[in-house]
Structure 1
């Protein structure tokens, strides 16, 4: 009787140790939703880019293209090599406003007040964060941000709607160097 129980337990132990099998999805979906989303985003970007190019052309074509996907033009440029652009952790004191592509004001400089921003340590929309890295104290720059460099799909959940390209006039008042740099 003991041999039968032992054999049965051994048999159950050996055959119950089976490697787990991957669970298969109940239904599979094709990439059609992703393909449609990509096509829609390409169409939206082409429309935004055409509107932005029209604005730049009307301004005389003085805008520069950044490596990070936006355009900018210096209103006031400081040529001095003694002034540095901000690095990681530097505190930037700046003023800016936010407008639509047709020039309609969304937020004025008075609405936004003077900002202090710790470079790459605080939240700021991507385009402005990259734009501030190009600036020296005393400079004023006009930026044109496509919606993906501005507030993207969600907007700011206040006055800026989803997929809204923006124009910002930014003035850097001062840059305080981070002591650990």
Structure 2
């Protein structure tokens, strides 16, 4: 009887032992959230760019230029003699204001005061950072930035909300070239 009991236990032991099997997922959604986000952002960018294009089309006074990085601008005051634009590390001083696409003032030039900025070495929103590199000392330029070139999804935590395209009027006061002499 004991032998039979041991035999039955051994049979159960060997028949019940098998390697664990991996469970298969019920739903497979590889990258769907990212793809949906990309599509939403493309739609938002297209919508904002269409609004800006409509403004540009109605404006028969100014000659607009499209930047390589995705914003539009025109010169109020242009320097045709100089070819000096700020490069990486150069110190610039400038004044600007910010409005929405309807012309509503968000920040006045007085509120923002004169800004001293080292090109690409300090924080500044993408569009303005790229726009300054196109300017020469003394020039005045009006930039139209879609939200992805401005403060994007997060806004500025003060007056600029999420996904707000902006217009900025910028005056580049000075350019001080970074010292290239070695000690």
Runs of 4+ in 1 over 6 A off after TM superposition: 24-27
Mapped partners of 2:35, 2:177: distance in 1: 46
Instruction: Give structure 2 stretches of 5+ with no counterpart.
Output: 1-22
Are 2:179 and 1:179 aligned?
yes
Are 2:59 and 1:62 aligned?
no
Mapped partners of 2:158, 2:120: distance in 1: 24
Offset from partner CA, 1:85-140 (integer Å, 9 cap, x none): 01111110100000000000000000000000001110000000000000011100
Mapped partners of 1:96, 1:25: distance in 2: 57
Offset from partner CA, 1:21-60 (integer Å, 9 cap, x none): xxx9978533222222122112111110111001111112
Mapped partners of 2:167, 2:42: distance in 1: 21
Q: Which moved more, 1:105-114 or 1:29-38?
A: 29-38
- 2:75 match: secondary structure: strand
Aligned to 2:107: 107
TM-score, with length taken from structure 2: 0.81
Instruction: Give structure 1 stretches of 5+ with no counterpart.
Output: 1-23
Q: State how 1:6-85 maps to structure 2 within 5 Å.
A: 29-60=29-60, 62-81=63-82, 83-85=83-85
The 3 A distance-change label for structure 1 pair 25 and 98 is farther
Are 2:95 and 1:95 aligned?
yes
Mapped partners of 1:44, 1:121: distance in 2: 30
Offset from partner CA, 1:135-168 (integer Å, 9 cap, x none): 0111000000000000111010110001110000
Are 2:147 and 1:151 aligned?
no
Q: May I ask how many residue pairs the two structures share in their alignment?
A: 158
Computing the radius of gyration from Cα coordinates, the structure with the larger value is 2
Mapped partners of 1:25, 1:56: distance in 2: 54
Aligned to 2:19: none
